[in-house]
Structure 1
Amino acid sequence: MPQFFAHSTATPDRSDWQLLSDHLQAVGQLAAGKAAAFGGESMAEVAGLLHDLGKYSDEFQRRIAGDLLRVDHATHGAIQAVERYGPLGLLLAYAIAGHHAGLANGSETGQRTALRDRLRGIELPALLNHWQTEIALPEKSTLKPPALRQRRERHFFQLAFLGRMLFSCLVDADFLDTEAFYARLEGRASRRAAGHPDLRTLRAALDTHLAGFEADTPVNRLRAEILAGVRSRAELAPGLFTLTVPTGGGKTLASLAFALDHAIRHGLRRVIYVIPFTSIVEQNAAVFRRALGEWGEQAVLEHHSAFVDDQSKALQARDKLRLAMENWDFPIVVTTAVQFFESLFADRPSRCRKLHNIAGSVIVLDEAQTLPLKLLRPCVAAIDELALNYRCSPVLCTATQPALTAPDFKGGLQNVRELAPEPQRLFRELERVRVKSAGRLSDAELQRHLSEREQVLCIVNNRRHARALYESIAEAEGARHLTTLMCARHRSQVLAEVRQRLRDGLPCRLVATSLIEAGVDVDFPTVLRAEAGLDSIAQAAGRCNREGRRPTEASEVLVFSTENEEWAPPRELVQFAQAAREVLRQHPDDPLGQAAITRYFLQLYWQKGERELDKADLLGLIERGRLEGLPFETLAREFRMIDSVQQPVIVPWDDEARDALRALPFAEGCGDLARRLQPYVVQLPRQGYDALYNAGAIQPVASERYGEQFMQLVNSDLYHESFGLHWDNPVFVSSERLCW
């Protein structure tokens, strides 16, 4: 009887090649184990058994032996799934057909051939009947889908979600079995992390850390109360939660304590933190590692686009981290909202591979109000589905809780429980500022406000306004400017100077864009905030009297509009500002209270309209497509949380940056140097990047080795001590392309 192989080696007698039947059975078993968290074992096993069925062909066996043939080895399994299992088989067919190239649309051709066309019209190599003697498939009557609790208006969304989860189980199992086969051949153990600390060990370490805190001030006593109250709710059944805690209430460690308690109590597997900003991902991951002591490095996986290989660690440890990022096999994962939500709507194996490990998790959605409005309804649908059918406990964690519950929000969240003890009282007791309207201010009046106050922060809505305003007060003592056009190391230096001046009671007048609101720890007696959304105003208020050392009445957040049309809010912020203006008028005495915040979000969603909360009509596409037309590829293409692609430019700001840049052409590997250079990167819109590139102001470093991976600013005149990267040099004045 002939032998059929899944993977080959260089051994001519094929004695160490992997048998196809061994691979299919192993992938089936692995996939079933991964689907157990959501009851999908039966379907996942069938997907594993069928995924490489097309390798039972003469053409593929010739290819694996070295013939230069292109062979479709996935479609045969998809066809068998449909023929044997009907509608359930069709759902499996998406995963099987796409386990290498990615999930295709059901009926509309995109970059990939539609599944319908693959099932009907493609000429395939003949399938040899030997497979039926080696692979035993279950009967149709025994194929059991997960017992999904249904949302009638999202029936096909739920099926698409299940299909992507099964796809995740399949591709991860396929990767792992293939990886293990070649690891055995090389006589080495898997490089994947093993022996993670369990959640009970991590909780014990966190308890030790928390025991060192003293409730020695009114704020610290309130933080201790919040921590105890949140932890007491861990007994509640898994499902949807909110954690509504004012800025400075200690929600970071309180949410981690709840997550560990809750996961242990209910047999959940991991904790996933989803955070909107990369800088806060890094910050929170560092906080968690410190809090978990000796277990921190082994327990916390940090996954975001700016993560770079740390060459100071042993090769084995670096490999484990890199491999863990592929499937999130860690007790605690800290990632970005972009990474999390785009993966939930992705189509490629590399992005979807980790999804099954989300099932059975506590998911803390930090700063939940920052979810983009154009994708809000699909995001809410995904959060709801994870809680409803995948044993997850999502926690919407913020000081400004968005109004996402049904029936006020169509298709909204149901049965949501609050974790914080008496949020309204907490907000009253932690109230540290007064928010007032300063009305309409001219540039001269705004300049006068800044000049008359010795310590003041002014936050505006665009970089050009921030620069102009700073230039108008630059001669004043303690004037400082912050912008994203400065590299992170430069911004850190400015913030260190600002904090020191504030501590020493010296004059400090800081002009910044909204970047200052992203978790930056500064404490001003007065904050001026250009009109924006109420959530942004609340974040600005978190930079005023942050530690409660001043009387509330003496700590002001002044919200102003500008007379100069040139400084009007960007178009996408106008509706946010309009909704905030209306709510501030209705709630003048408590503009940051829970009633005002809820009213603000409801007003904003009403202004936007239902269609604008799913701008690409993704939910509609799914429901209209039905099972046979699920638009997997279209969803992945259209679900983009960030519209504009940013391009990194390295600024040789100090000796460390210059040394790393000089070493880059000669380094054996670039990982360590990339990590060292990360604080010197400025992200530019494509338009500005191209303009600087065309002008020769930026050039690649070691292009023969790295191409354009590392782009360096070579015209030092374009980087200013106060403004960061700019283009006021006379050489560029006439180039409108540089003024974006």
Structure 2
Amino acid sequence: MFYAHSTSTTDKSDWQGLEDHLKSVGRLAAERAERFGAGPWGEAAGLLHDIGKYTIPFQRRLEGSPERVDHSTAGAHIALEQYPQVGHLLAYLIAGHHAGLANGRDIGERTPLKNRLEADLPPLDSVWQQEVALPDELLPPAHLQQRRDRAFFQYAFLTRMLFSCLVDADFVDTETFYSLHEKGITLARGGRPTLDVLRDALDQRLATFQADSDVNRLRGEILSHVRAQAELSPGRFSLTVPTGGGKTLASLAFALDHAITHGMDRVIYVIPFTSIVEQNAAVFRDALGEHGEAAVLEHHSAFDAGNQSDRNTIDKLRRDSENWDAPVVVTTAVQFFESLFAAKSSRCRKLHNIAGSVVILDEAQTIPLPLLRPSAAALDELALNYRTSVVLCTATQPALAETDDPERSFVGGLRDLRELAPEPDRLYRDLKRVTVRHIGTLDDEALRDELLATEQVLCIVNNRRHARALFESIADRPGAYHLTTSMCAVHRRRVLAEMRQVLKAGQPCRVISTSLIEAGVDVDFPRVLRAEAGLDSIAQAAGRCNREGRRSAADSDVAIFTSANEDWAPPPELKKFAQATVEVLRRHGDDPLSLAAVEAYFRLLYWQQGPQELDKHGLLKLVEDGRIEGLPFDTLEQKFRMIENNQRAVIIPFDDTARAALRELAYAEGVGSIARKLQPYTVQVPQQGFAALERVGAIAAVEPDKFGEQFMVLVNEDLYDEHMGLNWSDPTFRSGESNIW
């Protein structure tokens, strides 16, 4: 008898039979692939993935032999023989179900599929042909709609989706076996509330809202209209609602209604910034009442499973997060898009659960320009062939629609984009709460005078150094506050809570912030100063002014300025946005946040870049040139980075909760829950600053023998200021004693 997995029992009485494992994985993979009409493909992949275990060398390995045995490539060979037309796609995922999807040919660092297929393998025992019955024929999914301009992109996308089905099925079956036979437990799966239950809970919550103001009446109108569109056929949608129009809950209500109407499975809310994932998840949990805690899953890149070093944590986080088996998922754009172009099994495992979902892209305009074309292609493919409804949800709608009008079309974008909001132009007029104007060039002294001229004012600048210098110039004045990503999230929350109380009391409140305050932070100022930036950023800044509409637009001033100090100019990657804004202001200076101005801004921005700059690494061309035999899966994962992450996390022992969590690491085996507790206490530090802190002993690894450098904590707490946050740029670091323990 041949076995798939062993236990500590020497008589093999409770070992998992190979035939049982292959059939179970084939069945589970088929169920997952049926979500997008590819059930037989999933079954074939599941039956073939471990066929290489039908060898004497692999069975010896299960018995304790140290020899290394390739058990993945044999199934890839059989797929090529059995299915000459489509077998190459299956070969990628079968050969890569442990190591990840490789390039078809040698254009990267890892061994390509071509080389693996040419390597010598131990012979298979012929018993596999009696125990494994493969599907006779594999045809492309019947509903698959092809686009000639990206045919091989579609093949690569299908392969990655099938890979997700296979690795999730393999993980689930293997984990179930070991949990039962080694721990004597059956892992709980499912059991979360249904979408119908969640919609009823949301309806109860929405029924408590009162139309007691013009703004609230308009929010109610928007909500009703958006929900009435739920019966529209699945596809591509936009939801264009000005800031303060209630689009967060309106989009959730639409998504639940739409998913239930069309038999879809979940809602995935994609947020541009990690800093507001927890905030939005909390809004949804609150809106869903007693079911919120069980229904809403947060998943973002901080302390991701792929970064964990211990087996228990990896398994736990994968169960909780990596297959996204929850009715409402709140995640980041980085996690969402990078997964769609990933090659590693842990990153791809969730993909099949995006099929048959409603995906809400909050602040859709924040997709990085260098990746815009491949990102739009992925969104369009989800809607075209994977029963996914994609909703671009924002006050500043990016011009991503592909139309028949060459003057207005984003080539390769989203076809047949339908608007969910009622008369967006009218909404903008009705919800207009500010007056936006450019006040020219200001040096630091003039900017300080502007701040001191108003008792309640928010000033947003483009870099941390400017924010720090400006705050220091007014720090001795009443109500001076500073917000920066140099502060950990818990610290920022405390500052924001104090600011809100001061604003409500009508006391002086002068806030200097980087753009982080534009990311969904609920504050309301009578005046906002904004350094030149992209028009979408200016619109976000304007959302912090007269947010609740208690003042007239004429009395609510959003003033754009150019800094006279070259040191404070926008970084190079932001200059193009600011330049496009300046051009739009020339044409639409009377109303720079109108929908016409926003559309002109994005078209100008995209036109200035050109098609190549919107796919900086040439990923779409790379895929098309590779064809079936040379699909560049590994290269795509390496090059598709929404954030070029050269930063490292430093944990700040900011309060007793953080210190207690750090102490827990001393005796912890699985650290998933501890990592989540510590995440709001981290500051992301550039690699150079991190090295400087490490060099002078200002940071140190916690339990390095167990976790390596996974948990780096600030031990010189003199470097963390109550107003400025963490200082990693001061060359006169002083070594300090730790008081964490």
- The residue aligned with 1:594 is 595
Q: Aligned-pair distance for 1:497?
A: 2.5
What are the within-5 Å matches in structure 2 for residues 49-60 of structure 1? 49-60=47-58
Do the aligned partners of residues 66 and 205 (structure 1) sit closer, same or farther apart at CA in structure 2, a change above 3 Å counting?
same
Report the residue type matching 1:58 in the other structure.
I
Q: Tell me the distance in 2 between the aligned counterparts of 1:321 and 1:295.
A: 21
**Structure 2 counterpart SS, 1:641:** coil
Q: Tell me the distance in 2 between the aligned counterparts of 1:116 and 1:322.
A: 30
- The residue aligned with 2:239 is 243
Q: Is the CA contact (8 Å cut-off) linking 1:193 and 1:324 kept in structure 2?
A: no
Deviates more, 1:298-307 or 1:587-596: 298-307
Q: Is the CA contact (8 Å cut-off) linking 1:308 and 1:675 kept in structure 2?
A: no
Q: Tell me the distance in 2 between the aligned counterparts of 1:730 and 1:322.
A: 41
Q: Normalising by structure 2, what TM-score?
A: 0.94
2:135 equivalent to 1:138: yes
2:89 equivalent to 1:79: no
Q: Aligned-pair distance for 1:716?
A: 3.0
Q: Normalising by structure 1, what TM-score?
A: 0.94
Q: Tell me the distance in 1 between the aligned counterparts of 2:573 and 2:242.
A: 26
- The residue aligned with 2:309 is none
What are the within-5 Å matches in structure 2 for residues 179-218 of structure 1? 179-186=175-182, 188-218=184-214
Q: Tell me the distance in 2 between the aligned counterparts of 1:432 and 1:33.
A: 51
Q: Is the CA contact (8 Å cut-off) linking 2:313 and 2:671 kept in structure 1?
A: no
2:381 equivalent to 1:385: yes
Q: Is the CA contact (8 Å cut-off) linking 1:359 and 1:386 kept in structure 2?
A: yes
Deviates more, 1:30-39 or 1:191-200: 191-200
**Structure 2 counterpart SS, 1:237:** coil
Do the aligned partners of residues 297 and 500 (structure 1) sit closer, same or farther apart at CA in structure 2, a change above 3 Å counting?
closer
What are the within-5 Å matches in structure 2 for residues 215-614 of structure 1? 215-306=211-302, 323-407=319-403, 408-614=409-615
Q: Is the CA contact (8 Å cut-off) linking 1:192 and 1:319 kept in structure 2?
A: no
Deviations along 1:312-369, one digit per CA (max 9) or x if unpaired, are xxxx999877513121111111111111111111111111111111110000011101
Q: Tell me the distance in 2 between the aligned counterparts of 1:500 and 1:187.
A: 52
Q: Tell me the distance in 2 between the aligned counterparts of 1:21 and 1:507.
A: 73
- The residue aligned with 1:102 is 100
**Structure 1 counterpart SS, 2:42:** helix
Do the aligned partners of residues 694 and 386 (structure 1) sit closer, same or farther apart at CA in structure 2, a change above 3 Å counting?
same
Report the residue type matching 2:466 in the other structure.
H
Q: Aligned-pair distance for 1:662?
A: 5.2
Deviations along 1:99-132, one digit per CA (max 9) or x if unpaired, are 111111011253432112222x201101222211
- Alignment gaps of 5+ in structure 1: 310-315, 734-740
- The residue aligned with 1:738 is none
Q: Aligned-pair distance for 1:18?
A: 1.9
Q: Is the CA contact (8 Å cut-off) linking 2:234 and 2:389 kept in structure 1?
A: yes
Q: Aligned-pair distance for 1:498?
A: 1.8
Q: Tell me the distance in 1 between the aligned counterparts of 2:148 and 2:700.
A: 55
- Alignment gaps of 5+ in structure 2: 306-311, 404-408, 735-741
Q: Is the CA contact (8 Å cut-off) linking 1:223 and 1:249 kept in structure 2?
A: yes
Q: Tell me the distance in 2 between the aligned counterparts of 1:130 and 1:346.
A: 35
Q: Tell me the distance in 1 between the aligned counterparts of 2:41 and 2:729.
A: 62
Deviates more, 1:531-540 or 1:582-591: 582-591
Report the residue type matching 2:456 in the other structure.
Q
Deviations along 1:12-67, one digit per CA (max 9) or x if unpaired, are 33232222222112211111111111110111111111111111112112222222
Q: Tell me the distance in 2 between the aligned counterparts of 1:674 and 1:308.
A: 9
Q: Tell me the distance in 1 between the aligned counterparts of 2:217 and 2:625.
A: 54
Report the residue type matching 2:410 in the other structure.
F
Q: Tell me the distance in 2 between the aligned counterparts of 1:5 and 1:205.
A: 48
Q: Aligned-pair distance for 1:225?
A: 0.5
- The residue aligned with 2:38 is 40
Q: Aligned-pair distance for 1:426?
A: 0.8
Deviations along 1:64-122, one digit per CA (max 9) or x if unpaired, are 22222211111111111111211311111101111111111011253432112222x20
Q: Aligned-pair distance for 1:261?
A: 0.5
Q: Is the CA contact (8 Å cut-off) linking 1:439 and 1:560 kept in structure 2?
A: yes
Deviations along 1:235-293, one digit per CA (max 9) or x if unpaired, are 10000001111111111111111001001111111111111111221111111111111
Q: Tell me the distance in 2 between the aligned counterparts of 1:685 and 1:450.
A: 30
Do the aligned partners of residues 111 and 192 (structure 1) sit closer, same or farther apart at CA in structure 2, a change above 3 Å counting?
farther
Do the aligned partners of residues 325 and 729 (structure 1) sit closer, same or farther apart at CA in structure 2, a change above 3 Å counting?
closer
2:66 equivalent to 1:68: yes
Deviations along 1:505-525, one digit per CA (max 9) or x if unpaired, are 112111111011111111111
Q: Tell me the distance in 2 between the aligned counterparts of 1:621 and 1:115.
A: 17
Q: Is the CA contact (8 Å cut-off) linking 2:36 and 2:141 kept in structure 1?
A: no
Q: Is the CA contact (8 Å cut-off) linking 2:303 and 2:679 kept in structure 1?
A: no
Q: Aligned-pair distance for 1:492?
A: 2.1
Q: Is the CA contact (8 Å cut-off) linking 1:241 and 1:393 kept in structure 2?
A: yes
Report the residue type matching 2:588 in the other structure.
H
Q: Tell me the distance in 2 between the aligned counterparts of 1:306 and 1:636.
A: 18
Report the residue type matching 1:75 in the other structure.
T
Q: Aligned-pair distance for 1:644?
A: 2.6
2:639 equivalent to 1:641: no
Do the aligned partners of residues 668 and 84 (structure 1) sit closer, same or farther apart at CA in structure 2, a change above 3 Å counting?
closer
Q: Tell me the distance in 2 between the aligned counterparts of 1:723 and 1:689.
A: 17
Q: Tell me the distance in 2 between the aligned counterparts of 1:13 and 1:729.
A: 64
Q: Tell me the distance in 2 between the aligned counterparts of 1:124 and 1:593.
A: 65
Q: Tell me the distance in 1 between the aligned counterparts of 2:651 and 2:79.
A: 51
Report the residue type matching 1:476 in the other structure.
R
Q: Is the CA contact (8 Å cut-off) linking 1:110 and 1:634 kept in structure 2?
A: yes
Q: Tell me the distance in 1 between the aligned counterparts of 2:232 and 2:187.
A: 38
**Structure 1 counterpart SS, 2:512:** strand
Report the residue type matching 1:526 in the other structure.
R
Deviates more, 1:417-426 or 1:694-703: 694-703
Deviates more, 1:290-299 or 1:361-370: 290-299
- The residue aligned with 2:653 is 652
Report the residue type matching 1:472 in the other structure.
S
Report the residue type matching 2:2 in the other structure.
F
Do the aligned partners of residues 66 and 672 (structure 1) sit closer, same or farther apart at CA in structure 2, a change above 3 Å counting?
closer
Percent of pairs with identical residues: 65
Do the aligned partners of residues 480 and 28 (structure 1) sit closer, same or farther apart at CA in structure 2, a change above 3 Å counting?
same
Report the residue type matching 1:275 in the other structure.
I
Q: Is the CA contact (8 Å cut-off) linking 1:405 and 1:413 kept in structure 2?
A: yes
**Structure 2 counterpart SS, 1:216:** coil
- The residue aligned with 1:12 is 10
Report the residue type matching 1:17 in the other structure.
W
Q: Provide the aligned length of Structure 1 versus Structure 2.
A: 723
Q: Tell me the distance in 2 between the aligned counterparts of 1:158 and 1:308.
A: 28
- The residue aligned with 1:24 is 22
Q: Aligned-pair distance for 1:576?
A: 0.1
- The residue aligned with 1:629 is 630
Q: Tell me the distance in 2 between the aligned counterparts of 1:320 and 1:79.
A: 34
Do the aligned partners of residues 411 and 435 (structure 1) sit closer, same or farther apart at CA in structure 2, a change above 3 Å counting?
same
**Structure 2 counterpart SS, 1:381:** helix
Report the residue type matching 2:487 in the other structure.
M
Do the aligned partners of residues 53 and 701 (structure 1) sit closer, same or farther apart at CA in structure 2, a change above 3 Å counting?
closer
Q: Aligned-pair distance for 1:470?
A: 1.5
Q: Tell me the distance in 1 between the aligned counterparts of 2:518 and 2:287.
A: 24
Q: Is the CA contact (8 Å cut-off) linking 1:102 and 1:347 kept in structure 2?
A: yes
- The residue aligned with 1:129 is 126
- The residue aligned with 2:616 is 615
RMSD of equivalent CA atoms:
2.1
Q: Tell me the distance in 2 between the aligned counterparts of 1:585 and 1:422.
A: 26
Q: Aligned-pair distance for 1:722?
A: 2.1
Deviations along 1:578-628, one digit per CA (max 9) or x if unpaired, are 001111111122211111111100100111111111111000000000011
